[in-house]
Amino acid sequence: MSPDPQLKPLRPADADRYPRSGRAAGQEATLVRVGAAVFGGQRLVVAAGPCAVEPSGSLLATAAAVRDAGATLLRAGAYKPRTSPYDFQGLGREGLALLAEARDATGLPVVTEVLDPRDVEAVAAVADMLQIGSRSVQNVPLLREVGRSGKPVLLKRGMMTTVHEWLSAAEYVLSAGGRDLVLCERGIRTFEDATRNTLDLNTVVLLKQRTHLPVIVDPSHACGDANLVAALCRAAVAAGADGLLVEVHVDPLLALSDGDQSLDPAAFRAAMTACRAVAAAVGREI
Protein backbone atom coordinates (compact mmCIF):
# COMPACT_ATOMS: atom_id res chain seq x y z
CA MET A 1 0.00 0.00 0.00
CA SER A 2 1.19 3.53 -0.69
CA PRO A 3 2.12 5.65 2.31
CA ASP A 4 -0.80 7.57 3.83
CA PRO A 5 -0.01 11.32 3.74
CA GLN A 6 -1.45 11.56 7.25
CA LEU A 7 1.10 9.13 8.65
CA LYS A 8 4.13 10.51 10.41
CA PRO A 9 7.52 8.81 10.01
CA LEU A 10 9.88 8.11 12.86
CA ARG A 11 11.28 11.07 14.68
CA PRO A 12 14.96 11.62 13.83
CA ALA A 13 15.98 10.53 17.33
CA ASP A 14 14.33 7.13 16.76
CA ALA A 15 15.87 6.34 13.39
CA ASP A 16 18.98 4.72 14.85
CA ARG A 17 17.00 2.70 17.40
CA TYR A 18 14.65 1.10 14.85
CA PRO A 19 16.58 0.96 11.55
CA ARG A 20 14.68 -2.10 10.31
CA SER A 21 11.21 -1.71 11.82
CA GLY A 22 10.80 2.06 11.68
CA ARG A 23 8.90 3.83 8.90
CA ALA A 24 11.08 6.29 7.00
CA ALA A 25 9.56 9.32 5.32
CA GLY A 26 7.66 8.21 2.22
CA GLN A 27 8.16 4.52 2.94
CA GLU A 28 5.38 2.19 1.88
CA ALA A 29 3.87 -0.31 4.29
CA THR A 30 5.36 -3.78 4.19
CA LEU A 31 3.15 -6.64 3.02
CA VAL A 32 3.65 -9.99 4.77
CA ARG A 33 2.35 -13.02 2.89
CA VAL A 34 1.38 -16.23 4.65
CA GLY A 35 -0.18 -18.57 2.15
CA ALA A 36 -3.05 -16.71 0.50
CA ALA A 37 -3.26 -14.20 3.38
CA VAL A 38 -1.52 -10.84 3.01
CA PHE A 39 -0.96 -8.76 6.13
CA GLY A 40 -0.85 -5.01 5.59
CA GLY A 41 -2.93 -4.85 2.43
CA GLN A 42 -6.44 -3.65 1.66
CA ARG A 43 -8.00 -6.84 3.01
CA LEU A 44 -7.66 -7.52 6.73
CA VAL A 45 -6.33 -10.91 7.79
CA VAL A 46 -8.25 -12.89 10.41
CA ALA A 47 -6.48 -15.74 12.20
CA ALA A 48 -8.84 -17.78 14.35
CA GLY A 49 -8.96 -21.06 16.24
CA PRO A 50 -8.61 -22.56 19.69
CA CYS A 51 -6.07 -21.41 22.26
CA ALA A 52 -4.53 -24.88 22.32
CA VAL A 53 -4.50 -28.00 20.18
CA GLU A 54 -6.42 -30.50 22.30
CA PRO A 55 -6.53 -34.30 22.40
CA SER A 56 -10.34 -34.24 22.01
CA GLY A 57 -10.28 -33.97 18.22
CA SER A 58 -12.02 -30.58 18.27
CA LEU A 59 -9.33 -28.87 16.18
CA LEU A 60 -10.62 -30.04 12.80
CA ALA A 61 -14.19 -28.99 13.57
CA THR A 62 -13.05 -25.58 14.79
CA ALA A 63 -10.75 -25.08 11.80
CA ALA A 64 -13.56 -25.84 9.36
CA ALA A 65 -15.91 -23.49 11.21
CA VAL A 66 -13.55 -20.50 11.19
CA ARG A 67 -12.64 -21.08 7.54
CA ASP A 68 -16.31 -21.12 6.57
CA ALA A 69 -16.86 -17.87 8.50
CA GLY A 70 -14.06 -16.12 6.59
CA ALA A 71 -10.87 -16.66 8.59
CA THR A 72 -7.76 -16.93 6.45
CA LEU A 73 -5.37 -18.46 9.00
CA LEU A 74 -5.72 -21.13 11.66
CA ARG A 75 -4.28 -20.27 15.06
CA ALA A 76 -3.75 -22.85 17.80
CA GLY A 77 -0.97 -23.66 20.23
CA ALA A 78 0.88 -26.97 20.19
CA TYR A 79 3.07 -25.63 23.01
CA LYS A 80 1.31 -23.56 25.68
CA PRO A 81 3.03 -21.37 28.28
CA ARG A 82 0.72 -21.34 31.30
CA THR A 83 0.89 -19.41 34.53
CA SER A 84 0.57 -22.61 36.56
CA PRO A 85 2.75 -25.65 35.80
CA TYR A 86 -0.28 -27.83 36.58
CA ASP A 87 -2.45 -26.43 33.78
CA PHE A 88 -2.65 -28.01 30.32
CA GLN A 89 0.64 -27.28 28.55
CA GLY A 90 -0.26 -28.39 25.04
CA LEU A 91 0.51 -31.56 23.11
CA GLY A 92 3.92 -30.57 21.75
CA ARG A 93 5.02 -32.63 18.74
CA GLU A 94 1.68 -34.45 18.65
CA GLY A 95 -0.04 -31.07 18.46
CA LEU A 96 2.14 -30.06 15.53
CA ALA A 97 1.06 -33.19 13.66
CA LEU A 98 -2.59 -32.34 14.32
CA LEU A 99 -2.05 -28.81 13.03
CA ALA A 100 -0.57 -30.23 9.83
CA GLU A 101 -3.65 -32.43 9.43
CA ALA A 102 -5.95 -29.46 9.96
CA ARG A 103 -4.09 -27.43 7.33
CA ASP A 104 -4.35 -30.29 4.84
CA ALA A 105 -8.07 -30.69 5.55
CA THR A 106 -9.04 -26.99 5.41
CA GLY A 107 -6.39 -25.29 3.31
CA LEU A 108 -5.76 -22.74 6.06
CA PRO A 109 -2.14 -21.75 6.76
CA VAL A 110 -1.12 -22.31 10.38
CA VAL A 111 0.28 -19.86 12.91
CA THR A 112 1.45 -21.36 16.19
CA GLU A 113 3.66 -20.37 19.10
CA VAL A 114 7.22 -21.47 19.71
CA LEU A 115 8.63 -21.19 23.23
CA ASP A 116 12.14 -22.57 23.09
CA PRO A 117 14.98 -21.89 20.64
CA ARG A 118 15.57 -25.65 20.53
CA ASP A 119 12.06 -26.19 19.13
CA VAL A 120 12.19 -23.59 16.35
CA GLU A 121 13.30 -26.02 13.66
CA ALA A 122 10.56 -28.54 14.50
CA VAL A 123 7.82 -25.91 14.71
CA ALA A 124 9.00 -24.17 11.54
CA ALA A 125 8.81 -27.49 9.70
CA VAL A 126 5.03 -27.45 10.24
CA ALA A 127 3.93 -23.87 10.85
CA ASP A 128 3.48 -21.33 8.08
CA MET A 129 4.05 -18.54 10.61
CA LEU A 130 5.84 -18.59 13.96
CA GLN A 131 4.28 -16.81 16.91
CA ILE A 132 6.28 -15.22 19.71
CA GLY A 133 3.94 -14.92 22.66
CA SER A 134 3.65 -12.26 25.32
CA ARG A 135 5.86 -14.10 27.80
CA SER A 136 8.63 -14.59 25.23
CA VAL A 137 8.86 -11.12 23.70
CA GLN A 138 12.18 -10.42 25.43
CA ASN A 139 13.67 -13.90 25.08
CA VAL A 140 16.60 -12.75 22.96
CA PRO A 141 17.92 -16.21 21.93
CA LEU A 142 14.42 -17.17 20.79
CA LEU A 143 13.96 -13.91 18.86
CA ARG A 144 17.24 -14.47 17.04
CA GLU A 145 16.44 -18.08 16.25
CA VAL A 146 13.04 -17.33 14.72
CA GLY A 147 14.69 -14.54 12.76
CA ARG A 148 17.05 -17.12 11.25
CA SER A 149 14.23 -19.58 10.51
CA GLY A 150 13.11 -18.01 7.24
CA LYS A 151 9.47 -18.10 8.38
CA PRO A 152 7.13 -15.13 8.82
CA VAL A 153 6.90 -14.12 12.48
CA LEU A 154 3.94 -12.89 14.55
CA LEU A 155 5.38 -10.89 17.43
CA LYS A 156 2.97 -10.29 20.28
CA ARG A 157 3.37 -7.42 22.69
CA GLY A 158 4.36 -8.37 26.20
CA MET A 159 1.78 -7.70 28.88
CA MET A 160 4.12 -5.16 30.48
CA THR A 161 6.15 -4.18 27.41
CA THR A 162 6.56 -0.60 26.26
CA VAL A 163 6.44 0.32 22.59
CA HIS A 164 10.21 0.83 22.67
CA GLU A 165 10.80 -2.63 24.14
CA TRP A 166 8.40 -4.18 21.64
CA LEU A 167 10.02 -2.56 18.62
CA SER A 168 13.43 -3.47 20.00
CA ALA A 169 12.27 -7.11 20.09
CA ALA A 170 11.25 -6.73 16.44
CA GLU A 171 14.74 -5.42 15.68
CA TYR A 172 16.24 -8.60 17.17
CA VAL A 173 14.17 -10.74 14.80
CA LEU A 174 14.86 -8.58 11.76
CA SER A 175 18.55 -8.10 12.47
CA ALA A 176 18.97 -11.89 12.67
CA GLY A 177 17.74 -12.25 9.12
CA GLY A 178 13.97 -12.17 9.50
CA ARG A 179 12.16 -10.39 6.70
CA ASP A 180 8.44 -10.86 7.32
CA LEU A 181 7.21 -9.71 10.71
CA VAL A 182 3.76 -8.76 11.99
CA LEU A 183 3.15 -6.98 15.31
CA CYS A 184 0.21 -8.05 17.49
CA GLU A 185 -1.28 -5.85 20.22
CA ARG A 186 -2.85 -8.14 22.86
CA GLY A 187 -3.50 -5.87 25.81
CA ILE A 188 -1.26 -4.67 28.60
CA ARG A 189 -1.45 -5.09 32.37
CA THR A 190 -2.69 -1.95 34.11
CA PHE A 191 -4.26 -1.14 37.48
CA GLU A 192 -7.66 -2.20 36.06
CA ASP A 193 -8.67 -5.71 37.07
CA ALA A 194 -12.21 -5.86 35.68
CA THR A 195 -10.77 -7.42 32.51
CA ARG A 196 -7.80 -9.69 31.94
CA ASN A 197 -5.75 -6.89 30.34
CA THR A 198 -6.32 -3.42 28.88
CA LEU A 199 -6.49 -3.20 25.09
CA ASP A 200 -4.18 -0.38 23.99
CA LEU A 201 -5.66 0.86 20.72
CA ASN A 202 -3.55 4.01 21.10
CA THR A 203 -0.57 1.88 20.19
CA VAL A 204 -2.23 0.48 17.06
CA VAL A 205 -2.66 4.01 15.71
CA LEU A 206 0.84 5.02 16.82
CA LEU A 207 2.55 2.01 15.26
CA LYS A 208 0.76 2.51 11.95
CA GLN A 209 2.53 5.88 11.89
CA ARG A 210 5.91 4.86 13.28
CA THR A 211 6.53 1.48 11.64
CA HIS A 212 6.10 -0.01 8.18
CA LEU A 213 5.21 -3.40 9.68
CA PRO A 214 1.63 -4.71 9.72
CA VAL A 215 -0.17 -4.40 13.06
CA ILE A 216 -2.97 -6.71 14.18
CA VAL A 217 -4.99 -7.05 17.38
CA ASP A 218 -5.78 -10.00 19.65
CA PRO A 219 -8.98 -8.94 21.46
CA SER A 220 -9.38 -12.32 23.17
CA HIS A 221 -6.34 -11.97 25.42
CA ALA A 222 -6.94 -8.26 25.78
CA CYS A 223 -10.21 -8.73 27.67
CA GLY A 224 -10.41 -12.38 28.72
CA ASP A 225 -14.19 -12.34 28.32
CA ALA A 226 -15.97 -13.76 25.27
CA ASN A 227 -18.83 -11.30 25.79
CA LEU A 228 -16.49 -8.38 25.00
CA VAL A 229 -14.51 -9.84 22.10
CA ALA A 230 -16.82 -8.90 19.21
CA ALA A 231 -17.01 -5.24 20.23
CA LEU A 232 -13.21 -5.07 20.56
CA CYS A 233 -12.85 -6.65 17.12
CA ARG A 234 -14.96 -3.86 15.65
CA ALA A 235 -12.98 -1.22 17.55
CA ALA A 236 -9.67 -2.65 16.31
CA VAL A 237 -10.85 -2.58 12.70
CA ALA A 238 -12.03 1.01 13.11
CA ALA A 239 -8.66 1.99 14.61
CA GLY A 240 -6.83 0.78 11.50
CA ALA A 241 -5.57 -2.65 12.52
CA ASP A 242 -4.43 -4.86 9.64
CA GLY A 243 -6.07 -7.95 11.08
CA LEU A 244 -7.40 -9.86 14.07
CA LEU A 245 -6.30 -12.88 16.09
CA VAL A 246 -9.40 -14.43 17.67
CA GLU A 247 -9.84 -17.47 19.89
CA VAL A 248 -12.64 -19.75 18.74
CA HIS A 249 -13.64 -23.17 20.06
CA VAL A 250 -16.48 -25.45 19.00
CA ASP A 251 -17.45 -25.81 22.69
CA PRO A 252 -15.77 -23.16 24.87
CA LEU A 253 -17.10 -24.76 28.06
CA LEU A 254 -14.96 -27.82 27.35
CA ALA A 255 -11.82 -25.94 26.26
CA LEU A 256 -8.67 -26.93 28.14
CA SER A 257 -7.27 -23.40 27.83
CA ASP A 258 -8.92 -19.94 27.78
CA GLY A 259 -12.47 -21.13 27.29
CA ASP A 260 -13.82 -17.99 28.99
CA GLN A 261 -12.50 -15.78 26.21
CA SER A 262 -13.24 -18.09 23.29
CA LEU A 263 -16.11 -17.48 20.89
CA ASP A 264 -18.19 -20.37 19.65
CA PRO A 265 -18.57 -20.67 15.85
CA ALA A 266 -21.93 -18.86 15.77
CA ALA A 267 -20.58 -15.91 17.75
CA PHE A 268 -17.50 -15.80 15.52
CA ARG A 269 -19.64 -15.70 12.38
CA ALA A 270 -21.65 -12.82 13.83
CA ALA A 271 -18.48 -10.96 14.78
CA MET A 272 -17.09 -11.37 11.27
CA THR A 273 -20.30 -10.02 9.73
CA ALA A 274 -20.18 -6.94 11.96
CA CYS A 275 -16.49 -6.38 11.27
CA ARG A 276 -17.08 -6.44 7.53
CA ALA A 277 -19.43 -3.48 7.87
CA VAL A 278 -16.87 -1.55 9.95
CA ALA A 279 -14.09 -2.40 7.51
CA ALA A 280 -16.14 -1.11 4.61
CA ALA A 281 -16.78 2.14 6.49
CA VAL A 282 -13.01 2.76 6.82
CA GLY A 283 -12.15 1.70 3.29
CA ARG A 284 -10.96 -1.84 4.04
CA GLU A 285 -12.23 -5.37 3.42
CA ILE A 286 -12.41 -8.65 5.33
pLDDT band at 3 (very low <50, low <70, confident <90, very high): very low
pLDDT of residue 5: 45
Mean pLDDT of the chain: 94
Q: Helix 163-175 vs helix 201-210: angle between axes, to the nearest 10 degrees?
A: 50
pLDDT digits (tens, 9 = 90+) for 179-231: 999 999 999 999 999 999 999 999 999 999 999 999 999 999 999 999 999 99
pLDDT of residue 25: 84
pLDDT digits (tens, 9 = 90+) for 133-182: 999 999 999 999 999 999 999 999 999 999 999 999 999 999 999 999 99
Q: What pTM did the predictor assign?
A: 0.94
Can you tell me the mean pLDDT for 84-107?
A: 93
DSSP per position, 177-196: T---EEEEE--B--S--SSS
Question: pLDDT > 90: what percent of the chain?
Answer: 87
Task: Return the CATH superfamily for domain 35-281.
Answer: Aldolase class I (3.20.20.70)
DSSP per position, 21-49: TB--TTPPPPPEEETTEEETSSBPEEEEE
Question: pLDDT > 70: what percent of the chain?
Answer: 95
Domain boundaries, the chain: 35-281
* 280: CB partners within 8 A, 6+ apart: none
